Amino acid sequence: MARKKTRQKQSVRKSSAKRTSPAPNRMPRHADLGVPKPEVDHFMALYKAKRLSEAEREAQAMTERYPESAFAWKALGTTLLEDGRVEPALKYLHRSVELDDSDPLSLTSLSAVYYQQGDNEQAVRYQSRAVDLQPDYAPAQYRLAEMLQMAGKHFKALEHAKKAQELGYDDFRSRVLVGALLYQTKYFSEALVIYEQLEKDYPGSAPVYNNLGNLYKDIGQYELSEVYYKKALDAQPSYVMAYSNIFFAKHYNPNASQQEIIEFAKGWDQHFALAEMPAPDSSRDVAKPLRVGMISSGFRIHPVGQMIATALEHSRPDIHFYAYATNDYDDYVTQKIRESTRVWRPVRHLSQEALAQQIRDDAIDILIDLSGHGDGNCLQAISMRPAPLCIKWVGGLVNTMGLSSIDYLLSDSIETPEGVDDQYTEKLIRLPDDYICYMPCPYAPNTSSLPAIKNGYITLGCLNNPAKIGERLLAEWARLMLELPESRLLLRGAQYESEDFCRGIRETLGEQGIEEYRIILEGPARHQEFLETYQRIDIALDTWPYSGGLTTCEAMLMGVPVVTLPGPTFAGRHSATHLINAGLQELVASNWEEYRQRVLELANDLPNLAVIRAGLRTILHYSPVCDAPRFANHFNNALRAVWVRYCEGKEPEALTFNKEGELWFEDDKQPIELPEARSEEEVESESFEWQLDEPITIIDNAAVLPRHPDYPKWMASGHLAVISFDPASLLNNRVEKLQEYGELHHYPHALLGDGHPATLYATLDAEKGSTLRPLPEDLQPEYLRDKLKVLTELSINTVALDQIEGLPSVDMLVLDDLHDAMKVLENGEQTLKNTLLLQMKVSFQPTHERQPSLAEMQHWAIRNGFRFYRFNNEYHRNYLPESVPIEKRQACELVSAEAIFLPSHQRLSKLSSLERKKLAFFLDTVLGYSDIAYFLMFHLGSQGMECIGISEVERNSLALSRSGCVPNVNPEEQCLSLEEIERLAGESSDDEHCFYHYPYNSEYFISNKSSFWNSLDIVFVVGCGHSGTTLISSILSNHPDIYCLPYESEAFINGNSYSIILDYAYKEIYDSVGAEPKVVVEKTPRHIHEFDRISRLFPKARFIVPVRDGRDVAYSINKRIGSLREGISRWVRDNYEVSRIKDSSNVFFYRHEDLVDAPDKTMEEMLRFIGVEYVPELANAKRENKWRANNHKDRRGLSDSLIKKRNNQIRSKLYRNTGEWREGLSPVDISFLEGAFNKGEAFDLMREFGYF
């Protein structure tokens, strides 16, 4: 037996790691795999050995050889899922299910994909089908139980969890899940038995300790519960929930002081807070519509849901709610809250960091926490400060939160009476009435007549959480019952299903002289039945020190008065605020004697008690506790007030309301006049009354417009028709809603481009997915690095604008900075020749490879009849610390902007009346540029006047101001000549970047030099640096027919304007050789990442691509920059591209070692490829010092040390220097280097290139 238990524990240790996707190793016996058994066995061996890259290649090959095999597609999809690449796995698993919808393993894997994407409905659907098909498959039963648990369907989940356990699923996991579900379905005694046994079988398990802590807390053993929570933290110091549970448990324990709790709350930051995000660059507009985010697991039949739903429903239109739901529950309260929100986001599947980023991306102004330290809490996301302001409201609201990232706490003058502000790290917002707004449930039973009249005795009752009932409270209740002979005490709750727990209650009361027959203990029930229990209760007794909240409101709803003694914390005063705001302040006692006296007064006056019972529901309904419009008004005013204060650059301060609704900040004391806020639905400008005969057709690449918050307002005019390509499928879950606003044609997983397939880089932040590869992490701004982490690479088809048949005239084109805008433009010139407006996002601080620069865009625009108009939505970054006062905090660095291009002056003068109207409408209504709109409409004469509603006088005035406004300008005259550029560059030599920002005449380059470049044979030497690129360039430069540029031009990277740089190269060639050479060689290794773009711009271009043993390259890079890790990373990154293009017809690929070993043979083949005559001994001919600079920016003689090194390389004779890393590295570094190249992508590339 001991041996068996050891095996179980080993199994648990394996399974306690992150759960993986189901292995495709248990097929239904009837399945026809459609793949030969040896291939299946080979794949399975790779999969089980976790050699996932090899397994993926094998699976991919199976799909190509056996495209009708469901197993092949399942193998590929499941491998990707196992590797964490969820998005690409989806389509392959769908294909498998299409071919065979009776395979439970495919369905289980497909379900897992949807579950990881946060789509619980689809996940449950496919997992249920899998279970129906093969009910004896334990993993499917277990996963379905997990999904149902997250959806709040605990009883159904319990059935499947028990079934998984019976079928032999992982012993530890199945028992933990069954125990958790027994706890959630209120079978406490059974859950306790399971967890006590788990503690013996699997000592050291943090989840087991934590759940035991929960159980002991719920049966009133507060000190023991804290012991187990601390054990959980000792076993797993990062266990955030265990710390939060200790915080909660202290509020149940009457021996815990308020000061002790406060100090413990403040300790959370030290242990668990995450790094703060950079301060948001939000608009400090006091009247803007506020985006208010709410995080909770309680958007359902739950205290949170029932205390916020009507407040949200009655809020003003200037408050836009964004809900972040941390579970998958869905009931009538969920629906009500969802209808009141602008955006509903399930975030159960997101990490804390990803959630914080989602909140930041949603541009939330005020974030409201509705979970506290409770279930589904997201305090770590909140600690990152994703929003300018954060407020704590209902939901685990029992005390100060203690977090520095929470600015305000929404309360009232009863919950937080005067004089307690120093007990809170937050600034208190004291509403004039209750701090919540209760929504009675629609199925509440009718109130009944007074039970005491029929029974002949008083029935006291408490339906609060039994965890709040400790020995001290029972002693006080016993004293009360002794003064009410024959009275009964009815207690109901989940814990009372446990006979052990009931025995403890009876014994405690029995010791105080209360007979057992007077004690009525009942277990859990459905909510409606639970409320019916009040029909048997005369007077409700509140708990102490942790009072009731929702249960107090429900008791009043059922006509039962509640007597309370406020406790020392916020948690102890819930009942007091509800009672006082319902007009029952006499039921709030100040000590135990008064508590008993209030109960006795009610019990001894049955007629009065009967009257209270009959009218209490009506009293509650008309009290501030349920007055949603009044509450919502005060709630909205509080939100607006703290926002105004933020906009004024002031620190948070306590905010107080009086009963008339006046409000003031503590440091001012003067009533606040709030601004008249704008609603997003309101049209702010009605300067024009537009009449368009046809809609404005907008092509939107990357779903930019539909994601804009003003999209509904723009579409409300009825004048826009949007065709949106959505490569990352960001709109899939809300297309129908968006289409309600106006004409939207949505094309998911599609993109404009050149008509050839592209690669979509799916990133941690879904909205940052791109078809431009993100730059290496060290070149990205720190605040973007997590967002731009690539999760997977997907193939995506692109469509060229000029190839789309039946496309109507395109009035506007919108391009973002995450996809290749130049491909779209270059392959859409015919379609765009009559387009009225281009909006193209420019990244001035590049984040991705091949991001087009403003110069490139402007060159294309000038050639195609457009002119730059202005920037829109400029984003600047601030580098100053938050300690700098807001009024002094600058944000100077221009990160990005939308470049707006309009028709050239010549084209503008020829626009038709309809085209002018369309352009004017968009400029005014969408972009807000009224001056240019007036100008366009003015030229329509009386027709334009009629449309814009201006007088003849105004028109004449406008005519004077606009005279001569449309000159006949030659585009050539708007640009600088090459000589002027050179002069300006020379004058700006202190700033190596300056001259790239001067206007440049790309037409001059295209027309005057195109014959030169197109007639010339250009050879680009590309690859990974330190692989012999400098050497081969210098060898080639000795050939009489070849001219090699003596620097790396970097013409196509880092946003450089290739046309300007090549102009300099053109001039350099003539200065050096005085004529056109037959072949020009340009060497910039990093141009390997621009292969496709260069090939498109220069169709005759050829490429020489060397590769070298990765270990030698990494060692060489390490000597240069001191980072072996970066050397490895760079070799893999660059040679991944080499692998992709090495077999292309315009590429000469060779190994550096082959050049060294057989130089003449290699050079003869290379020169034949280039198209020049072979010169013997060229490789070892004497080479001159020709390297004048390291790149185009320092070609005037800068970087002398590096130039010297380059020239030493050039002069060197060829020699074999392979394996130097073995001598030059320490044993530790050698081990690290060998390990890196013996696995993963590095290993695969080394083997492909013949080094392994």
The CATH number covering residue 1068 comes to 3.40.50.300
> What is the chain's alpha carbon radius of gyration, rounded to the nearest angstrom?
36
**Rounded CA separation 41/37 (Å):** 6
At 477, is the secondary structure helix, strand, or coil? helix
Token digits for 1131? Answer: 């070799």
At 1093, is the secondary structure helix, strand, or coil? helix
In a domain, residue 885? The reply is: no
Residue 101 confidence (pLDDT): 87
Asked if pLDDT for residue 612 goes beyond 70, the answer is yes
In a domain, residue 839? The reply is: yes
Owner of token pair 């009410």: 484
Strand order in the sheet with 408-412: 343-346, 319-325, 290-296, 366-369, 389-392, 408-412, 427-431, 655-657, 663-665
**Rounded CA separation 962/908 (Å):** 15
User: Does 1058 lie in the same domain as 1163?
Assistant: yes
Q: For residue 1145, give every residue at least 6 positions away whose Cβ sits within 8 Å of its Cβ, in sequence order, or none.
A: none
In a domain, residue 857? The reply is: yes
Question: Global pTM?
Answer: 0.54
Token digits for 701? Answer: 């690449």
**Rounded CA separation 1097/1006 (Å):** 11
**Rounded CA separation 366/585 (Å):** 34
C-alpha triplet 895, 901, 903: angle, nearest 5°:
175
- What DSSP assignment string belongs to 711-773? HHHHHTTS-EEEEEEETT-TTGGGHHHHHTTSEEEEEET-EESSSS-EEEEEESSGGG-BSSP
Q: Under a CB-based contact definition with an 8 Å cutoff, are residues 760 and 794 in contact?
A: yes
Residue 903 confidence (pLDDT): 93
User: Does 1063 lie in the same domain as 1000?
Assistant: no
Residue 885 confidence (pLDDT): 58
Token digits for 311? Answer: 């407040």
User: Does 1088 lie in the same domain as 984?
Assistant: no
In a domain, residue 1200? The reply is: yes
Q: Under a CB-based contact definition with an 8 Å cutoff, are residues 128 and 147 in contact?
A: no
Higher pLDDT, residue 944 or 182: 182
**Rounded CA separation 137/167 (Å):** 7
Residue 975 confidence (pLDDT): 37
Token digits for 338? Answer: 């969802």
Residue 23 confidence (pLDDT): 40
Residue 940 confidence (pLDDT): 56
Helix spans in 352-498 (H): 352-361, 379-383, 451-455, 471-482
Tell me the mean pLDDT in the region 880-908. Answer: 77
In a domain, residue 935? The reply is: no
In a domain, residue 193? The reply is: yes
Element housing 1159 (H / E): helix 1159-1170
**Rounded CA separation 463/936 (Å):** 71
Q: What is the biggest distance separating any 2 CA atoms in the chain, rounded to whole angstroms?
A: 120
Q: Of 959, 992, 1013, at which residue does a domain stop?
A: 1013
Q: Of 645, 665, 685, at which residue does a domain stop?
A: 665
Residue 330 confidence (pLDDT): 83
Token digits for 190? Answer: 């059974």
Residue 9 confidence (pLDDT): 31
Residue 972 confidence (pLDDT): 34
Owner of token pair 């690539």: 790
Quick count: other Cβ atoms within 10 Å of Cβ 629?
Answer: 12
The answer to whether the Cα torsion of 1085, 1086, 1090, 1094 is positive or negative is negative
In a domain, residue 775? The reply is: yes
312-359, pLDDT tens digit by residue?
999 999 999 999 999 888 888 998 999 999 999 989 888 899 999 999
C-alpha triplet 107, 110, 114: angle, nearest 5°:
135
In a domain, residue 25? The reply is: no
Quick count: other Cβ atoms within 10 Å of Cβ 286?
Answer: 16
**Rounded CA separation 713/680 (Å):** 7
Nearest to 146 by CA among 171, 172, 112, 117: 112
Element housing 488 (H / E): strand 488-492
The CATH number covering residue 798 comes to 3.40.50
As for how many domains the chain has, the answer is 6
Quick count: other Cβ atoms within 10 Å of Cβ 239?
Answer: 19
Tell me the mean pLDDT in the region 190-206. Answer: 91
**Rounded CA separation 708/1071 (Å):** 52
Residue 33 confidence (pLDDT): 82
At 319, is the secondary structure helix, strand, or coil? strand
Asked if pLDDT for residue 1005 goes beyond 80, the answer is no
Asked if pLDDT for residue 588 goes beyond 60, the answer is yes
- What DSSP assignment string belongs to 919-976? HHHIIIIIS--HHHHHHHHHTTTHHHHHHHT--HHHHHHHHHHHTT-S----GGGGS-
Question: For 2-16, 120-134, 137-151, 229-243, which range has the lowest pLDDT when averaged over its residues?
Answer: 2-16
**Rounded CA separation 132/123 (Å):** 14
Tell me the mean pLDDT in the region 1075-1082. Answer: 77
What phi, psi does 834 have (nearest 5°)?
-115, 15
Asked if pLDDT for residue 3 goes beyond 70, the answer is no
Most confident of 300-309, 943-952, 972-981: 300-309
Asked if pLDDT for residue 959 goes beyond 70, the answer is no
User: Does 283 lie in the same domain as 250?
Assistant: no
User: Does 595 lie in the same domain as 462?
Assistant: yes
User: Does 281 lie in the same domain as 425?
Assistant: yes
Nearest to 304 by CA among 226, 230, 397: 397
The answer to whether the Cα torsion of 1005, 1008, 1009, 1011 is positive or negative is positive
User: Does 865 lie in the same domain as 765?
Assistant: yes
Residue 890 confidence (pLDDT): 67
The partner residues of 409 in beta bridges, in order of sequence, read 392, 428
Residue 554 confidence (pLDDT): 97
User: Does 413 lie in the same domain as 277?
Assistant: yes
The CATH number covering residue 316 comes to 3.40.50.11380
Supply the mean pLDDT for the chain. 83
Tell me the mean pLDDT in the region 418-424. Answer: 95
Residue 1043 confidence (pLDDT): 84
**Rounded CA separation 560/542 (Å):** 12
Residue 1019 confidence (pLDDT): 92
Nearest to 838 by CA among 806, 874, 862, 818: 862
78-117, pLDDT tens digit by residue?
999 888 888 888 889 989 998 888 888 889 999 888 888 7
Q: For residue 1228, give every residue at least 6 positions away whose Cβ sits within 8 Å of its Cβ, in sequence order, or none.
A: none
Higher pLDDT, residue 717 or 404: 404
Asked if pLDDT for residue 1010 goes beyond 70, the answer is no
807-847, pLDDT tens digit by residue?
778 999 999 999 999 999 999 999 999 999 999 999 988 89
**Rounded CA separation 754/699 (Å):** 15
What phi, psi does 558 have (nearest 5°)?
-90, 10
1007: confidence class by pLDDT, cuts 50, 70, 90: very low
State what percent of residues in the chain have pLDDT above 90: 49
Per the structure, the complete domain to which residue 995 belongs is given by: 975-1013
Quick count: other Cβ atoms within 10 Å of Cβ 1009?
Answer: 16
Most confident of 92-96, 536-540, 1127-1131: 536-540
Asked if pLDDT for residue 973 goes beyond 70, the answer is no
Residue 1062 confidence (pLDDT): 57
**Rounded CA separation 633/671 (Å):** 16
Q: For residue 150, give every residue at least 6 positions away whose Cβ sits within 8 Å of its Cβ, in sequence order, or none.
A: 120, 327, 328, 348
State what percent of residues in the chain have pLDDT above 70: 84
Buried residues in 535-554 as b, exposed as e (16+ CB within 10 A): ebbbbbbbbbbbbbbbbbbb
Higher pLDDT, residue 196 or 961: 196
**Rounded CA separation 54/1239 (Å):** 11
699-711, pLDDT tens digit by residue?
999 999 998 888 8
635: confidence class by pLDDT, cuts 50, 70, 90: very high
1068: confidence class by pLDDT, cuts 50, 70, 90: low
User: Does 282 lie in the same domain as 263?
Assistant: no
Token digits for 1128? Answer: 């490895």
What phi, psi does 560 have (nearest 5°)?
-105, 120
**Rounded CA separation 1070/1111 (Å):** 41
The CATH number covering residue 570 comes to 3.40.50.2000
Task: Report the DSSP pairing between strands 539-541 and 720-726.
Answer: unpaired
Asked if pLDDT for residue 1075 goes beyond 90, the answer is no
User: Does 220 lie in the same domain as 112?
Assistant: yes
The CATH number covering residue 183 comes to 1.25.40.10
**Rounded CA separation 895/846 (Å):** 8
Q: Of 590, 623, 656, at which residue does a domain stop?
A: 623
User: Does 216 lie in the same domain as 179?
Assistant: yes
User: Does 460 lie in the same domain as 399?
Assistant: no
Residue 1210 confidence (pLDDT): 45
733-762, pLDDT tens digit by residue?
778 778 888 888 988 888 999 988 999 888
Asked if pLDDT for residue 274 goes beyond 90, the answer is yes
**Rounded CA separation 401/570 (Å):** 11
Residue 1187 confidence (pLDDT): 41
